[in-house]
Amino acid sequence: MTDRYAVIGNPIAQSKSPLIHELFARATAQDMTYARLEAPPGGFAAAVDAFRAAGGRGLNITTPFKLDAAAYATEASARVKFSGAANALKFEGNRVLAENFDGIGLVRDVTYNLNQSLKGQRVLMLGAGGACRGVLLPLLAQQPYELVIANRTLQKACDIASIGAQWGHVRSSSYAELVGRTYDVVVNATSASMRGELPPVPANVFARCHLAYDLSYGKGLTPFLRLALSEGVPALADGVGLLTEQAAEAFAWWRGVRPDTQAVRHLLTVPLV
């Protein structure tokens, strides 16, 4: 019997997840389908109930339902509990298991695909929203020398840093406090690139940077990456690697086999220069 999976969100037409998982299923000979599922605002639980009743085995979660997914689950990983958000669900009878693979996907892309070490590095994270929370624990597990979270509203960065401190050396910062400081890796976890804007980061942070990473994908050379390029950063990346690697983690969680991501990453990559 063919197993059913889907990605749920609103809007959902733009999602690349069906293409990614169809290619993964074909490459690993899995008998499964994967569809888009659009739920109305406030209608997440009802939509998931209907999907499960129809035999659905698992879901990927995208905007705006990651918090709803965490609340819907009966069991959640430490990453979900920390972030308050889930990007994957697995259904086993009455059990609903929740996971968040964004951070694992980011670390895999940086350390394996881009061959960049995070251990002992000074890492700067721009933004203290859900994207930051979703990737923080796997980043800290790489044992950077320090991870600094900068945000317009300093208190939000302070809140995340205080919780994350039990897993590693993490602290908060305002953007103004970044003047004169330099970092090895700079990650843009703000939504600025989605609007074609530049976060208020001083150019000096890139003085010794060897990797600038924008969590948004498919936008080409964003203002953030353009600034990094102008400052001489040798390696630039957007979130297409994160997207495919977190998808592969969810696929392995559901199916017990992890697909190779190289062909899919190349297919979805938008040139950055």
The tens place of each residue's pLDDT in the chain, 273 residues long, gives 899 999 999 999 999 999 999 999 999 999 999 999 999 999 999 999 999 999 999 999 998 999 999 999 999 999 999 889 999 999 999 999 999 999 999 999 999 999 999 999 999 999 998 889 899 999 999 999 999 999 999 999 999 999 899 999 999 999 999 999 999 999 999 988 888 899 999 999 999 999 999 999 988 999 999 999 999 999 999 999 999 999 999 999 999 999 999 999 999 998 887
Q: In what order do the strands lie in the sheet with 32-38?
A: 32-38, 3-9, 56-61, 88-92, 95-99, 75-76
Told to judge if 16 belongs to the known catalytic residues of this protein, a careful annotator would answer no
User: Amino acid letter at 159?
Assistant: D
pTM as predicted: 0.94
Residue range 3-100 forms a domain whose CATH class is alpha beta
Rounded to 10 degrees, the C-alpha dihedral 225/86/11/224 comes to -10
Catalytic, out of 16, 66, 81, 219? 66
**Region 103-240: CATH code:** 3.40.50.720
- Is there a shared CATH topology between the 3-100 domain and the 103-240 domain? yes
What are the sequence ranges of the domains in the chain? 3-100, 103-240
Give the separation between CA 159 and CA 214, rounded to whole angstroms. 23
Q: Are 153 and 128 in contact (CB under 8 A)?
A: yes
